[in-house]
Structure 1
Amino acid sequence: MMTASLTFNRRAFLVLGAAAALPRPAFAAPGKQIAALFAGKVDDGGFMQAGYDGLKLAEARLGATIAFTQGIAPKPEDLTEALRALAKAKPDLVIAHGGQNNAAAKAVAAEFPDIRFAVTQGNVTGPNLASYEVLQEQSAFLAGMLAALTTKTGVVGHMSGIRVTPGLKGRAAYVHGVMHANPTVKVLTNFSGNQDDNPLSKKVAAAMIAEKADIIFTMLNAGRTGAVEACREGGAKQIGNVRDWTIVAPEIFVASAFADSGQALFNAAQDFVEERFAVGQVRQIGLETPEAVRLTMAGTVPANVKGRIETMAAEIAAGSFKVPAEWEGVEFANPA
């Protein structure tokens, strides 16, 4: 069960915990009413926080009344219950942040045909449902190229947590980026089962480093800290994602596959407010919008490598190169 109780006015927001009977938020103010669901913590320094920033931007720029639920376990039944609780308050728009909400959003949107629903990083549609997707696989492909072009050991890593479609596409793109730049480089890839578990992520990263991985691409949320600790202790470098990690920990991060999922959330809100909401569509945002998707690189990256990355980025943005989004191969098991 999920519990929480909190009221809010136009400038406040509703925060619901992960273990309580969800109350209905009470919208009582003018302006569009937008409610969002985050299957994680909005201060995780990663994907969920990016989405929350997009929601706050909608409040600031669009004058929307906002409410949100955070900390919901990424289980279909819990996500469905949380979305249903938000919809019962009768907001104008409900946004589910993350592709793990695909099934829940599809089901709940059908129950509330008069409310608009959106899934960020999703691929579901319906008469009142749209998906808005930031193409993180495009920056992940560039990250793979960078890893292959700068590794000294010939072994690189990839780490993520739960197996959602955007994460799988990002992993596939990274591996193909490595292969495109240097097919002799070995890739160790792991989905640990948890985006936020620091002891687990540290253990996985340390095991990869023990297998000679000197650059690891981390698609994690709050669990990134454990991987950073392992890289620091093991002398490895890291490529981040979502935000620009090269300015957060420049001694560890050589690059970051920037993909601002908050832009997808804000775009959904903006389209709704401006009456062009993409009902029945999947709207995509890629490298042609560099404020949303790009590879940021540290100053230590050689100029010739940067040049190759920038050339490929231009080709992808122009549509002359399509990033592969599927991969099947042997995975790196969680260490005991």
Structure 2
Amino acid sequence: MRPTRIDRRTLLRAATAGAAAALPWSAGRAAEGAARLRVAALFAGKIDDRGFMQAGYDGLTLAARTVPAEIEFTQGIAPQPDALAAALRALAQKKPDLVVAHGGQNNAATRTVAAEFPDIAFVVTQGNVTGPNLASYEVLQEQSAFLAGALAGLITKTGVVGHMSGIRVVPGLKGRAGYAAGVAHTNPKAKLLTNFSGNQDDNALSKKIATAMIAAGADVVFTMLNAGRMGAVEACRERGVPQIGNVVDWTTIVPDVFIASACADSGRAVVQAVADKAAGRFAAGSIRQVGLETPEAVRLAMAPRVPEEVRARIAAIAAEIVAGRLAVPHEWSGEEFPTPA
């Protein structure tokens, strides 16, 4: 897919004013009169998926407006190392100041391509790779996922809860581990049905999996999906089962289905990476993280129908995590729910 070039006058999407006012790290502006930063970004999925990719894209356009910067991006690349590397290489050959690879599925490809272009700065959001010209910026979605699990454990009546995701990338696996630990924290006897289908964007598949989980007893389902989330929404709506979303506040988008959403705005990582590069504080070789201590970036949003005593319990758990008294694990082992044929 051909890269799309945008400058400050032709932004495709403006992020909310509130997001610009409350960044999780210190963003700042480039020096007045400085040359405009050139940023190229790679999105393996669709920038209008109402999920992880769109959050990253919104962060990119917000960065273009606030730094300011000229931005270029490529979207819709298959999440395979060779394809991702080729797309990153094509962006780097245009000699931008910064290349941003959005999502942990880019870890291996970015490490390879960054070594080929030592004079260009590279960033992986939700990544865990570093190098002489490579850094990772991570929003700790596993912390909001832990709270999602804690909520699921508190509200389940059947004692069975679901978790659905697509690609097995490190952030997604961490999110599953956090959710599982949250369920066990508030309801040790609850049964977890967890599935990685291999596809973040297939609505027919997600509906089939959600339907099967509900048939197996799940009375709340946590979805960590992108464009394929609406299939699970249909299944939950048809069967009267509440869903917990992620990335953005789905309780305001589909209020009849979503009882909560494990918000983790990965777009903030994009904004911060661009701001750091513009301000001359880009730290290659490092991993920068933000979690529940910055609720503008990471939190559990809950629908008004969640009882006050449950809200209070979730708030107390969040405070324990922020204080370091409650650890969120990064790994989970157990039997997975099979993808229906």
Partner of 1:199 in structure 2? Answer: 204
In 1, Cα distance between equivalents of 2:129 and 2:149? 28
197, 218, 230: which one pairs with 1:213? 218
Q: 1:149 to 1:138 in 2, by over 3 A?
A: same
- The answer (yes or no) to whether the contact 1:35–1:93 under 8 Å persists in 2 is yes
AA paired with 1:289? Answer: T
Shift of 1:325: 1.2
- The answer (yes or no) to whether the contact 2:162–2:222 under 8 Å persists in 1 is yes
- The answer (yes or no) to whether the contact 2:8–2:65 under 8 Å persists in 1 is no
296, 309, 317: which one pairs with 2:314? 309
In 1, Cα distance between equivalents of 2:220 and 2:177? 17
Partner of 1:329 in structure 2? Answer: 334
Partner of 2:263 in structure 1? Answer: 258
Matches within 5 A, 1:11-90: 11-12=9-10, 30-90=35-95
Matches within 5 A, 1:65-144: 65-144=70-149
- The answer (yes or no) to whether the contact 1:50–1:260 under 8 Å persists in 2 is yes
- The answer (yes or no) to whether the contact 2:3–2:72 under 8 Å persists in 1 is no
Partner of 1:4 in structure 2? Answer: 2
AA paired with 1:189? Answer: T
Partner of 1:151 in structure 2? Answer: 156
Q: Which runs of 4+ in 1 moved over 2 A?
A: 3-14
Deviation per CA, 1:44-99: give whole Å up to 9, x if none.
00000000000001011011000000000001000000000000000000000000
- Give the structure-2-normalised TM-score: 0.91
SS of equivalent to 1:35 = strand
In 2, Cα distance between equivalents of 1:139 and 1:299? 18
AA paired with 2:2? Answer: A
Q: 1:297 to 1:89 in 2, by over 3 A?
A: same
Gaps of 5+ in 1: 15-28
- The answer (yes or no) to whether the contact 2:162–2:221 under 8 Å persists in 1 is yes
- Residue identity over aligned pairs, in percent, reads 68
- The answer (yes or no) to whether the contact 2:143–2:291 under 8 Å persists in 1 is yes
Corresponding pairs, count: 320
Shift of 1:212: 1.2
C-alpha RMSD over aligned residues: 1.5
Q: 1:8 to 1:63 in 2, by over 3 A?
A: closer
SS of equivalent to 2:251 = helix
In 1, Cα distance between equivalents of 2:44 and 2:144? 23
Q: 1:5 to 1:43 in 2, by over 3 A?
A: closer
251, 269, 275: which one pairs with 1:270? 275
Partner of 2:175 in structure 1? Answer: 170
Q: 1:59 to 1:263 in 2, by over 3 A?
A: same
In 2, Cα distance between equivalents of 1:5 and 1:239? 34
Q: Does 1:319 find its partner at 2:324?
A: yes
In 2, Cα distance between equivalents of 1:7 and 1:170? 33
More RCO (CA 8 Å, sep 6+): 2
SS of equivalent to 1:283 = strand
SS of equivalent to 2:174 = helix
Q: 1:7 to 1:314 in 2, by over 3 A?
A: closer
Deviation per CA, 1:19-63: give whole Å up to 9, x if none.
xxxxxxxxxx94000110000000000000000000001011011
Q: 1:8 to 1:291 in 2, by over 3 A?
A: closer
Deviation per CA, 1:282-329: give whole Å up to 9, x if none.
000100111000000111111111111001111111222211111000
SS of equivalent to 1:279 = coil
SS of equivalent to 1:247 = coil
Gaps of 5+ in 2: 13-33
AA paired with 1:125? Answer: T
